[in-house]
Amino acid sequence: VPGDVVILETGNIVPADGRVLQSINMRVDEAALTGESEPVDKDDKLVFETDRPLGDRRNMVYSGTIVNYGRGEFMVTETGMETELGNIATLIQNVEEEKTPLQQRLDRLGKVLAYAALGLVAVVVVLGLLRGEADIEELLLTAVSLAVAAVPEALTAVVTISLSLGAQRMLKRQALIRELPAVETLGSVTVICSDKTGTLTLNRMTVTAVDIANHAFNFVQTPDETSLVLEPVENTDVTPGTMPTIDLLLIAGALCNDASLVEPETGDGYRVVGDPTEGALVLAAAQIGLDKNALDSAFPRVAEAPFDSVRKRMTTLHSVPKNESDMPASLLPVWQRRTVANPPPYLAFTKGAIDGLLDIAANVWVDGELQPFDDAWRTRLLTAHDQMAAKGMRVLGVGVRGWDRQPVETTDAALESELTLVGLFGMIDPPRPEVTDAVADCRTAGIRAVMITG
């Protein structure tokens, strides 16, 4: 009911449109409404003096969207068909159906035949009268019979059968036709306009590249999408410290993270609960063999500095296993190939925008050793960031800091200092596997494919 105050938490579906009253790092997935795969940060302090496009109203939440991160409260302003989602449904229901070219031609043919039949009736009657036919009733009956005979009653059946045969042939080519007249329309198509998110892409953020000091790798999905294969980028040298560093990068990404993977009831893959970007990090770690549940058990979180839009980063503090017996069996290979024999008892992991991490960095992790962070490393990391961004990737940096004892003060200022940079993640919402061939087929057929997105 308008005026109600609703509490939102991570994973909730927004039940109505409303004004945000409180936002504690709340991010909302509005892909169902706007088509944008990136979650939107909500801010209760924003006040707009002029009307803004739907995607820019960061002080509002909308029915049907999903809270991916944080929590908050909002006051209901619209419900039911008065919501933005309801307005879209109304527009769809009120669309006037236009007749296809074939239907228009059949309508014209029907009118021509009707006029011709009436003309034939008139001609027969006139000629009969001129010949002196006295029986007007028989004359009219003859004229009407000729008019009826001139109408092709089987035309409707012939057209329906022809369209049905066309639909069957197209179904064999993986094109399902629900309305028979569309068979003729589809054959006249010269341009296809398609949405991007969820139509051309998977609507699932995926880690496709990582960059650690002096090493760049592409993450390639195996055909069954259950694991990842690391492929070194050209001129990248693989050293004994490479895999342990990638382990550290993935562990940091999975632990400094509030997303989780849930196995659906159908058993088909996993569903991400939480922020899509964080979900991509958890999934990448899982596909390398680093299960988040096992990591959370081995490295319990003891403190955190939540993400906010000003710092553009998040930090979590974890206790570290003392020896091999404290590690879950699935993580033993990672423990055994570590390059630091005696890790510190506590580790703070930080992830976020690279420009903010560079400001608090003191060292760089290079093949299991610390190197001082200087201007040369700054240039190297910014170049790697720009190369990923130029490929359309969303880039996140990751850093770590060891603590000999649990810090008394766990504010972001205390935890986020003297950081050791580990590497970068590059993520995209990848295209569907069949999209490339589909677009190529369209071009071969003389059809231009156009992507429409916000």
- The pLDDT tens digits for 202-236 are 878 889 899 987 688 888 766 555 555 667 776 66
Question: Using an 8 Å Cβ cutoff, are 209 and 281 in contact?
Answer: no
Q: Which of 142, 7, 120, 108 is CA-nearest to residue 61? A: 7
CATH architecture of residue range(s) 5-93: Distorted Sandwich (2.70)
CA distances from 273 to 12, 30, 176, 368 (A): 10, 15, 33, 33
Judge if 5-93 and 206-428 fold alike in CATH terms. Answer: no
- The pLDDT tens digits for 170-190 are 788 777 777 777 777 777 789
pLDDT recorded at residue 261: 80
Res. 242: pLDDT tops 90:
no
Which DSSP symbol is given to 13?
A: B
Looking at residues 37-49, what average pLDDT do you find?
A: 83
Amino acid sitting at position 16:
A
- What is the percentage of the chain residues whose pLDDT exceeds 90? 31
Active site residues: 195
Question: Using an 8 Å Cβ cutoff, are 365 and 409 in contact?
Answer: no
Q: How confident is the model at residue 403 (pLDDT cuts 50, 70, 90)?
A: very high
pLDDT recorded at residue 117: 81
Q: How confident is the model at residue 241 (pLDDT cuts 50, 70, 90)?
A: low
Indicate the domain borders of the chain: 5-93, 101-180, 206-428
Q: What is the pTM of this model?
A: 0.70
Q: Which residues lie closer than 8 Å to 22 by C-beta, 6 or more apart?
A: 44, 72, 73
Res. 73: pLDDT tops 90:
yes
Res. 267: pLDDT tops 60:
no
* Residue that wins the pLDDT comparison between 101 and 86: 86
- The pLDDT tens digits for 430-453 are 888 889 998 998 899 889 999 887
Please tell us whether the domain made up of 206-428 is placed in CATH 3.40.1110.10: yes
pLDDT recorded at residue 113: 82
Lowest-confidence pick of 20-29, 69-78, 81-90, 231-240: 231-240
Res. 314: pLDDT tops 70:
yes
pLDDT recorded at residue 229: 64
pLDDT recorded at residue 299: 94
- The pLDDT tens digits for 269-295 are 667 777 888 888 998 888 888 889 999
pLDDT recorded at residue 450: 92
Q: How confident is the model at residue 160 (pLDDT cuts 50, 70, 90)?
A: confident
- The pLDDT tens digits for 358-389 are 999 999 998 888 899 999 999 999 999 999 99
Mean of the per-residue pLDDT values of the chain: 85
pLDDT recorded at residue 268: 58
Lowest-confidence pick of 62-66, 78-82, 337-341: 337-341
pLDDT recorded at residue 375: 92
Lowest-confidence pick of 22-26, 141-145, 362-366, 404-408: 141-145
Exposure b/e, 56-82, CB count within 10 A at least 16 = b:
ebbbbbbbbbbbbbbebbbebbbbeee
CA distance 117 to 380: 84
CA distance 313 to 307: 5
Q: Which residues lie closer than 8 Å to 85 by C-beta, 6 or more apart?
A: 32, 33, 62, 63, 64
